[in-house]
């Protein structure tokens, strides 16, 4: 598992299937009396989205991890406009009534120069884990001007450290021109402490010298539609 092994993008076959993904964070803004059918309606919506090619990988309870967030929704699919439309549908659903979007980030998988076999877990059909940590990051101005061999060596060292945590699965996607960041990373793990320990472990690498931004962090547990209703109550 590597924090940055999807970096140094090369052009891929335009006919290949594309994997876009979108993380959107909602905050409860006003108190709303939700009907008993709100959770069931949301599950039906997720089914309709799947029929349209939009996959709901999970919804996550991010409440109390920070003051400005309650639920994070993770979607992916081949068409970015379908992901945008899906978020609008979710925002308008009875379950998400009385919420505001506080953060949203889209990314797309692009072939990695130094690890061509590295692909996001969601694009390979890997089952989602119980806990998710999502954050963006931006490399230093010097990073992209370094010799390929030097960058490649730093990324490989970074990836080797990540192998100490095989239970953590990685989803690194490119977000150049899609927002304020260059990369978005979603890390999944069976236990929350796995994410804490991995992130600390990966601090001890040379590649850390070439990170100038890596906030905000959103972390939470994968929850059911009924649990979403409780979080937003």
Catalytic residues: 135
Annotated binding site: 158
Taking each helix axis from N to C end, the angle separating 38-51 and 225-232, rounded to the nearest 10 degrees, works out to 130
**Closest C-alpha to 34, from 95, 100, 89:** 95
Query: Binding site for Fe-coproporphyrin III: residue ranges?
Result: 158
**Residue 18 has what DSSP assignment?**
P
Within 8 A by CB and 6+ apart from 230, the residues are: none
183 touches 4 (CB < 8 A): yes
* Half-sphere exposure (Cβ direction) of 10: Cα atoms closer than 13 Å: 11
Q: Report the candidate in 18, 15, 155 with the shortest Cα–Cα distance to residue 79.
A: 18
Task: Write out the DSSP string of 95-152.
Answer: GGTTEEEEEEEEEE---BSS-TT---GGGGTPPP-SEEEEEEEEE-TTGGGS-HHHHH
């Amino acid at each position: 598992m590597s924090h940055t092994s999807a970096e140094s993008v090369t052009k891929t076959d335009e006919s290949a299937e594309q994997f876009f993904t979108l993380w959107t964070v909602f905050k409860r803004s006003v108190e709303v009396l939700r009907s008993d059918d709100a959770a069931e309606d949301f599950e039906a919506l997720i089914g309709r989205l799947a029929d349209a090619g939009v996959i709901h990988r999970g919804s996550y309870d991010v409440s109390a991890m920070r003051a400005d967030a309650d639920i994070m929704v993770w979607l992916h699919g081949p068409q970015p406009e379908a992901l945008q439309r899906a978020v609008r549908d979710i925002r308008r659903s009875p379950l998400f009534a009385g919420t505001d979007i506080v953060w949203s980030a889209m990314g797309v998988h692009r072939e990695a120069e130094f690890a061509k076999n590295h692909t996001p877990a969601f694009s390979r059909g890997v089952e989602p884990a119980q806990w998710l940590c999502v954050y963006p990051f931006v490399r230093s101005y010097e990073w992209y001007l370094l010799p390929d061999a030097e960058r490649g060596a730093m990324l490989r060292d970074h990836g080797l450290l990540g192998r100490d945590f095989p239970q953590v699965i990685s989803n690194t996607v490119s977000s150049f021109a899609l927002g304020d960041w260059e990369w978005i990373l979603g890390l999944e793990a069976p236990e929350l402490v796995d994410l804490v320990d991995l992130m600390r472990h990966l601090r001890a690498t040379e590649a850390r010298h070439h990170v100038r931004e890596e906030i905000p962090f959103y972390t939470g547990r994968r929850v059911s539609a009924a649990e979403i209703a409780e979080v937003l109550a």
